Amino acid sequence: MGKFAITMMGFLLLCFCTEAVYMKYKDPKQPLNVRIRDLMNRMSLEEKIGQMTQIEKHVASPQIMKKYFIGSVLSGGGSVPFPKATAADWVKMVNAIQKGSLSTRLGIPMIYGIDAVHGHNNVYKATIFPHNVGLGVTRDPQLVKRIGAATALEVRATGIPYTFAPCIAVCRDPRWGRCYESYSEDHRIVQAMTEIIPGLQGDAPANSRKGVPFVAGKTKVAACAKHFVGDGGTTKGIDENNTVIDVNGLLNIHMPAYIDSILKGVSTIMVSYSSWNGKRMHANRDLITGFLKGKLKFRGFVISDWEAIDKITEPPRANYSYSVQAGVLAGLDMIMGQENLVEFLDDLAFQVRNNIIPMSRIDDAVKRILRVKFVMGLFENPLADLSLANQLGSQEHRELAREAVRKSLVLLKNGKVTSQPLLPLPKKVTKILVAGIHADNLGYQCGGWTISWQGIGGNDLTTGTTILNAVKNTVHPSTQVVYQDNPDVNFVKSNHFSYAIVVVGETPYAEMFGDSAKLTIAEPGPSIISNVCGVVKCVVVVISGRPVVIEPYLANIDALVAAWLPGSEGQGVADALFGDYGFTGKLARTWFKSVDQLPMNVGDPHYDPLFPFGFGLTTKPVKS
């Protein structure tokens, strides 16, 4: 009898222990809200605040993740495991950090984010797509959706499930250093291009609830619509400046693409550094909590920009406690870039414990973050593998990028008289000149946000095809291609070239480093145009993140092509120049005559452009 009693007690104890370890939040069969509620009920204040924190890779370690329950890690521009790291190197790094999160009491996985804004642009050998300024020209939402899907595969190839894209700013002034991150000055084009979101995340089910985030499994990534709201409308195009506009203007120009993004199930929204009529967006409770979360019913999480709460005060960090309070109370759910990690965690915890920030605000933030993590399947698949490694820089993705390049080109001039067009160029001639410092420079044609934050010049940054090599690939084998980055007049005169291709433009930049009051082509670009186009028939290809001053040189130029920042696949430029495909692109931005006209957008009373919004000459493909 005694033995039976002991056996029975053991059985009951086993049942009790089995019951004790069953946690509803770990059961994918449980409804989403049940999982969220169950996990929330188990979390301490420290664990909740940890979820609201996103730290940079260089701050992160498995020990830090475990000690502070950190919810998210990011790689900023140029932040890599080490130069030229492979997909396997990235996966190893991300998984090591993730294992720190999984070793915590509750095992809540962290979410790793990265700025994959024109392809997986931080990563060596990834496909670099044209920047948004070029994609807007295509007016092709399905193309952009396919780019989103390809980017998602390449991001997942490196073990990362979250990208800070797309930028859905409506750039109203090309003097802004981020104008190339905007699809257009016209909100309708920007709205159409939010189709990149279902490309990145997958198509939300038809019956899904409005505003609820959606990510369709391990080949897709969580997206981030940014920067809420009005970042493209700042005074004089100065980055992080003040957008002066009435509420109707804000709602009619800068807000519509957010409504589209939310309807498409975007997972996260990033707030802008800029202000609206003098009030910092990161402290704007009416717009973040009232409008975005309330009126638009956004159910994903709201993330700050990099150390943006510090900039709520002027100068930054003048009153850090106030910045934490103002940002969190405004509705920020995840705070990005905590270099002073312990100070932030202690400050936020102190304010909650002393009822300066109510617990309900913390719970709202954590609920949103967990919702995205559950929806993504992070709890079921927290660790990455190498099954998608072959997607990084795949030939299929490069062909897609090449297609995007040729569709994003705008032919602005073709022949000094229309009856004598220069383009398409003949492939079989004696000798042609390719000139300009941008012709054989992969870094220049990719622009900022490529391998490093500001972008870099040269051909060693990643793999791809320069425009010079594209020309060599395309012309007849008997055609001699001569390259001179900066030829003098005598060289051009003495060589009897059939025609010249001149590739000039801006050098790479990002964010405030790209703000420009002059918008000029970088020297020696203007000199090259003068030296070459004054002597021989020439097509000038402009590599730039926006319209630049071109009118003074226009009379000398036979043909003019805006190629924007085409990315790694320069072959797409040659495809159109030589007539394998026709030019089809139409300007999604107004091309000014003089910077004195700025800001100038289609519909303005003083509208007097060099090339109007929607302009673009077309050519027919040549049958070979």
Beta strands in 191-274 (DSSP E): 224-228, 242-243, 268-271
Mapping DSSP to helix (H, G, I), strand (E, B) and coil, where does residue 319 land?
A: coil
Q: What is the dihedral of CA 444, 447, 448, 450, to 10 degrees?
A: -90
Write a three-state SS string for 580-604: CCCCCCCCCCCECCCHHHCCCCCCC
Q: Where are the alpha helices (DSSP H) in 534-622?
A: 551-554, 571-577
Q: Cβ distance 594 to 550 under 8 Å?
A: no
What residues contact 291, with CB distance under 8 A and at least 6 apart? none
Q: Cβ distance 539 to 422 under 8 Å?
A: yes
Task: Please tell me the distance from the alpha carbon of residue 471 to that of residue 76, in angstroms, as a whole number.
Answer: 35
Q: Cβ distance 600 to 144 under 8 Å?
A: no
Q: Cβ distance 162 to 222 under 8 Å?
A: yes
Quick check: is 440 catalytic? no
Quick check: is 511 catalytic? yes
Please report, as a single letter, which amino acid is at residue 279. K
Q: Cβ distance 181 to 132 under 8 Å?
A: yes
Instruction: Report the side by side order of strands in the sheet with 53-56.
Output: 162-163, 111-114, 72-75, 53-56, 335-336
Task: Please tell me the distance from the alpha carbon of residue 117 to that of residue 134, in angstroms, as a whole number.
Answer: 13
Q: Catalytic: which of 307, 511, 515, 569?
A: 511
Closest CA to 53 of 35, 68, 66, 43: 68
Task: Please tell me the distance from the alpha carbon of residue 245 to that of residue 230, in angstroms, as a whole number.
Answer: 9
Task: Please tell me the distance from the alpha carbon of residue 255 to that of residue 267, in angstroms, as a whole number.
Answer: 17
Strand partners, 450: 452
- Per DSSP, the residues of 433-498 read EEESTTTT-HHHHH-SSBSBSS---SSSSS--B-HHHHHHHHS-TT-EEEEESS--HHHHHHTT-S
Closest CA to 615 of 580, 582, 570, 585: 585
Q: Which two tokens stand for residue 146?
A: 């396919």
- Per DSSP, the residues of 81-123 read SSTT--HHHHHHHHHHHHHHHHTSSS-PPPEEEE--SSBSTTS
Query: Using CB atoms within 10 A of its CB, is residue 63 exposed (0-12), middle (13-18) or buried (19+)?
Result: exposed
Q: Catalytic: which of 140, 154, 181, 305?
A: 305
Residues carrying an active site annotation: 305, 511
